[in-house]
Amino acid sequence: MRARSRRPDDETDEASAVGLRRFLSVFGVFAVAAGFVVLIAPGVGSGLSMEYLVVMAIGAALLFFAARRWFKRALSSVDTAETPPVERRTTVSVPGDDFDEMLIKNAENAMGRLQVKSTSKDRIRAVAEAVFEGDGADVDEQLQAGTWSDDADAVALFSGQRTSVRDRVSSFVSGTPVLQRRIVSAIEQLAGLAGEEVSWGEIPDRSEDREPTEPGDHATDRWHGLTALALTTVGFGVLLSQPGLVLCGAVLSGLGAYAVAGSSPSTEVRIDRDIQPTDPHPGDSVSVTVEVENVGEQLIPDLRIVDGVPADLTVEDNSPRHGTALRPGATMEYTYTLSGVRGNHTFEDAFLVSRNLPGTLERVAETDVDGDQSVTYDVASALDLSVPLRKHASMHVGRVLTDSAGSGLEFHSVREYRSGDPLTRIDWSRAARGEGLATLQFHEERAATVVLVIDARREAYVASDDDSPSAVDRSVLAAAKLASALLAADDRVGLAALSPRQCWLSPGAGHTHLARLHDILATDEAFAPSPPTLPYYQRINLPALRKRLPSDSQLLVFSPLVDDEVVGVVRQLQASGHPVTIISPDSSGSGTPGRTLARLERRKRLSELRGANVRVVDWDRDESLALALTNAGRRWS
Amino acid sequence: MDEAIRPPRFALLLTGGAVTIAALALSLVPSAGLLAFAGGLIAVVGTARGSQRVLGLGALLQFAAVVFAGAASLSPGLLLVGILGAVLGWDIGEQSINVTRQLGSDATMVRSIVIHGAGSTFVGAVAMVLVYGTFLVSTGGQPLVALVAFLGGGGLVLLAMRA
């Protein structure tokens, strides 16, 4: 928020500028100067009449004041209200952007540089461990010795050599600090070693975001400078004896009077919003029609409306902003199109900026909107998926092939006949050979109890770029699909959120259960499109989840794996006897050092989890879930 | 909303029209006319690029051209048209820039620019007719005291204005 000037009536500094004393003193200075001129060169004065001298003095004084006004105008600027950035998705970030920001911002002072240095060295070292596939001491040795790369800058980050004069000069010329260059090079080299494509793009700058203006009246100072113009023309007109210029000054004064006399703008409008449809399918677009009526008594010459688009919907077509003028009682409407991925989105109040005709006063208001307030995307989508489950099943009959022997379809083993075995399972060919009775055993097929756990912590609200669906969006939609598929295969499915916003649905089966599950995924607070405000406390929230999990359940965890905490959670769950399959929507971006580092860190986490006997599905951005599951399943079997 | 500020083409036409009228009115003094054309061009470019500074520079050049033409004894009527065109060009340009800044380049906003421009044009035209009419009906030979009173008083009123 910039400091804004208040109502023009509150201004007091203007009065001092036109103080009589000041005017007289300037007038006096001019008179003295004119006297000197006449004394030194008597010829000048003889041609001028006394009265005319007075006029000249006034002209000069006018020019003097005009110069002061010009100076003042040059120091000020036109002040307009800041509107809310409704088009921008403020709910998701790109993994690694915080690192980029730190790299740029903190490199400016010594303390910041220290922080940048230690943070980035730690993170790069951790990644290096995964890339070199060595143990800690070995990796440290390689980094110290500088044998890991040919790039001098990258090596210098760890080998601790002094910055050479040449480095300093080249960094001065290019404008990037030496440290920053070294960090970027180190990340680039590591990514190259890990087989990643690296190309640097522009680092997005988010420092431009300004807060929207508070409601209230403000002076825009638009016409500041008109006085200076008028004084200048009149001054020159008088000095040069040109009536035309004096007349120009008079016309400018007229415009100035119009600017000063501007009335207060009105924001008395009624706004009505109509959304079609209010319950779209995932990815469908929604058309929003906004109708504005002037319910006040006066003309609104300049009204600007910004509709309160929910933070996680993107504007697809036209604009939620509109500028118009309305007579009393007049109505206008405009339409724009939004699209979203999922979830329940509530619109905000509309943001209004109304100006008077000369544009000198601006009134900012936030107005309630009648009509539709929210859009809810459903998550149901029919598809035929086979979910590769782990051999960890309940006692119910189902379709998961287990290792326990019994009745089934797939041959398992043969054992001695015990009385009471069903006749159909006796190995009659062996009996015919006279080798006695034996019973065939098959792999038993049981139902699995699967709990879908969705990582919906603050950290999981990430996307690979500003327009992609966030990891939570993809997780929720995938969970909905998998739940349908699992329930269709007679498995029992439950749902939990890994989030400070608690959510738990016990495992169950049947159509009603599926409908309930989909409803929770679509509307529950835990999976809202905007991230939770509270942090996730593992010590409090995780035991609560573990208590609820049935002992025979296996877990499908959905997480973008953007931090180490979730790895710890998954390992704990796995250790407490629940086999885990993790489905990780890949949300790492590319093009900047921070994003590349985040991508490498995610790879490290994936391999850590694989090492801990967790099944991992690395789900690419442009890959369908079915394909990702098939590929992963092929790797496991 | 991060994209560059690009006011609608219609607003550029209005601004361009106003500054062109100003330049044409001054073109009897060739050097002033040239300066006004250059200023007008800069003003239109500034509006198109959404830069208030460039627009202000263009308007200042036009204004300097008016003073220059006035010093060269251009007839008052043309001078008034020149100054009015320059001010209106700046006004419409600035309005379209600030509307576009608040609403983005793909919103509909022509109406608020047109109404605003119409208001300023009307007031400017009325002021011009009044001033020029007074100038035409008044004859020479008025006492100098009247002039001094006009100028001194007018200057003080201007100084007291917050514009």
Q: Say if the Cβ atoms of B102 and A83 lie within 8 Å.
A: yes
Pairing of strands A397-416, A438-446: antiparallel
- For the ranges A133-137, A210-214, A420-424, the maximum mean pLDDT occurs at A420-424
| Residue A235 token pair | 């001054």
- pLDDT score for A9: 43
What is the C-alpha to C-alpha distance for residues A608 and A526, in angstroms, rounded to an integer?
28
| Residue A528 token pair | 């809202």
pTM: 0.72
CB pairs under 8 A between A and B: 212
Q: For A396, which DSSP code?
A: S
Contact residues on chain A for B107, CB-CB shorter than 8 A: 318-319, 321-323
Residue A373 scores a pLDDT above 60: yes
Write the residue in B66, B135, B162 that is nearest to A14 by C-beta: B162
Touching B: A residues 75-94, CB under 8 Å: 77-78, 80-81, 83, 85, 87-88
Contact residues on chain B for A259, CB-CB shorter than 8 A: 163
Residue A382 scores a pLDDT above 50: no
Task: Write the pLDDT tens digit of every residue in A475-496.
Answer: 888 888 888 888 888 888 999 9
Say if residues A62 and A238 touch (Cβ distance below 8 Å): yes
Touching A: B residues 35-94, CB under 8 Å: 52, 63, 66-67, 70-71, 73-76, 79-80, 83-84, 87, 94
Element (H, E) at A196: none
- pLDDT score for A1: 41
Write the residue in B107, B124, B158 that is nearest to A319 by C-beta: B107
Gyration radius (Cα) of chain B, Å:
18
Residue A535 scores a pLDDT above 90: no
- pLDDT score for B91: 92
- pLDDT score for A14: 43
Task: Write the pLDDT tens digit of every residue in A399-422.
Answer: 666 666 666 677 778 888 888 888
Stretch A596-602: mean pLDDT, rounded? 87
Comparing A4-13, A283-292, A454-463, which segment has the lowest mean pLDDT? Answer: A4-13
Measured at the CA of A1, the angle between CA A348 and CA A213, to 5 degrees, comes to: 35
- CA-based nearest residue in chain B for residue A247: B131
Q: Which of B98, B121, B126, B145 to mutate to test the interface with A (most CBs of A within 10 A)?
A: B98
Stretch A249-258: mean pLDDT, rounded? 87
Q: Would an 8 Å CB–CB cutoff place A262 in contact with chain B?
A: no
What is the C-alpha to C-alpha distance for residues A557 and A566, in angstroms, rounded to an integer?
10
- pLDDT score for A15: 42
Q: Say if the Cβ atoms of B158 and A322 lie within 8 Å.
A: no
Contact residues on chain B for A353, CB-CB shorter than 8 A: 102
Comparing A1-15, A323-337, A521-535, B110-124, which segment has the lowest mean pLDDT? Answer: A1-15
> A61: phi > 0 → left, psi -120 to 50 → alpha, else beta; which?
alpha
Contact residues on chain A for B71, CB-CB shorter than 8 A: 236, 240, 242, 245
- CA-based nearest residue in chain B for residue A16: B160
Q: For A579, which DSSP code?
A: -
Say if residues A394 and A549 touch (Cβ distance below 8 Å): no
Residue B2 scores a pLDDT above 70: no
- CA-based nearest residue in chain B for residue A204: B2
Residue A599 scores a pLDDT above 90: no
- Residue A175, judged by CB atoms within 10 A of its CB (0-12, 13-18, 19+), counts as exposed
The shortest C-alpha distance from B144 to chain A (Å) reads 7
Q: Which of A590, A309, A613 is nearest to B107 (CA)?
A: A309
- For the ranges A143-157, A440-454, B49-63, B125-139, the maximum mean pLDDT occurs at B49-63
Element (H, E) at A121: helix A110-132
Q: Say if the Cβ atoms of A323 and B155 lie within 8 Å.
A: no
Q: Say if the Cβ atoms of A87 and B101 lie within 8 Å.
A: no
Contact residues on chain B for A358, CB-CB shorter than 8 A: 119-120
Residue A259 scores a pLDDT above 80: yes
The shortest C-alpha distance from A224 to chain B (Å) reads 4
Task: Write the pLDDT tens digit of every residue in A148-163.
Answer: 777 777 777 777 666 7
**Average pLDDT value for chain A:** 79
Comparing A37-41, A307-311, A562-566, which segment has the lowest mean pLDDT? Answer: A37-41
Q: Say if the Cβ atoms of B152 and A58 lie within 8 Å.
A: yes
Write the residue in A61, A321, A357 that is nearest to B107 by C-beta: A321
Pairing of strands A300-308, A321-326: antiparallel
- Bridge partner list, A370: A272
Helices B52-71 + A226-239 axis angle, to 10: 20
Touching A: B residues 93-152, CB under 8 Å: 94-95, 98-99, 101-104, 106-113, 115-116, 119-120, 123-124, 126-128, 130-132, 135, 144-145, 147-148, 151-152
| Residue A574 token pair | 């796995």
- Bridge partner list, A308: A348
Q: Which of A97, A116, A100, A132 is nearest to A604 (CA)?
A: A132
Task: Write the pLDDT tens digit of every residue in A553-592.
Answer: 888 899 988 888 888 888 888 888 888 888 898 888 877 8
Residue A296 scores a pLDDT above 90: no
Stretch A438-465: mean pLDDT, rounded? 83
* Residue B139 pLDDT level (bands cut at 50, 70, 90): low
Q: Say if the Cβ atoms of A236 and B66 lie within 8 Å.
A: no
Say if residues B82 and B25 touch (Cβ distance below 8 Å): yes
Dihedral in degrees, nearest 10, Cα atoms B1, B3, B5, B8? -90
Write the residue in A236, A242, A255 that is nearest to B73 by C-beta: A242
- CA-based nearest residue in chain B for residue A238: B151
- pLDDT score for A10: 42
- pLDDT score for B83: 92
Cα distances (angstroms) measured from residue B159 to each of A5, A20, B125, B149, B152: 19, 11, 23, 15, 11
- CA-based nearest residue in chain B for residue A319: B107
Q: Say if the Cβ atoms of B155 and A61 lie within 8 Å.
A: yes
Q: Which of A334, A344, A558, A375 is nearest to A457 (CA)?
A: A558
Say if residues B160 and A14 touch (Cβ distance below 8 Å): yes
What is the C-alpha to C-alpha distance for residues A184 and A592, in angstroms, rounded to an integer?
9
Share of chain A above pLDDT 90, in %: 5
Q: Which of B131, B96, B134 is nearest to A78 (CA)?
A: B96
Cα distances (angstroms) measured from residue A331 to each of A137, A272, A306, A419, B109: 74, 11, 16, 89, 15
Residue found by looking up tokens 């576009």 in the block: B100
- pLDDT score for B63: 92
The shortest C-alpha distance from B80 to chain A (Å) reads 6
Task: Write the pLDDT tens digit of every residue in A194-207.
Answer: 777 777 766 665 55
**Contacts of B134 by beta carbon, 8 Å cutoff, 6+ apart:** none
Contact residues on chain A for B156, CB-CB shorter than 8 A: 18, 23
- pLDDT score for A291: 92
Is the bond preceding A277 in cis, omega lying within 30 degrees of 0?
yes
Residue A390 scores a pLDDT above 70: no
The shortest C-alpha distance from A296 to chain B (Å) reads 18
Q: Which of A22, A238, A251, A352 to mutate to test the interface with B (most CBs of B within 10 A)?
A: A251
Write the residue in B73, B95, B112 that is nearest to A303 by C-beta: B112
Residue A369 scores a pLDDT above 80: yes
What is the C-alpha to C-alpha distance for residues A428 and A550, in angstroms, rounded to an integer?
41
Q: Say if the Cβ atoms of B2 and A248 lie within 8 Å.
A: no
**Listing from the earlier edge strand, what are the strands of the sheet with A449-455?**
A504-508, A492-498, A449-455, A553-558, A580-585, A615-619
Write the residue in B83, B102, B103 that is nearest to A248 by C-beta: B83
Show the DSSP H helices in A240-329 as ranges: 243-260
Residue B17 scores a pLDDT above 90: yes
Q: Say if the Cβ atoms of A14 and B104 lie within 8 Å.
A: no
What is the C-alpha to C-alpha distance for residues A70 and A450, in angstroms, rounded to an integer?
75
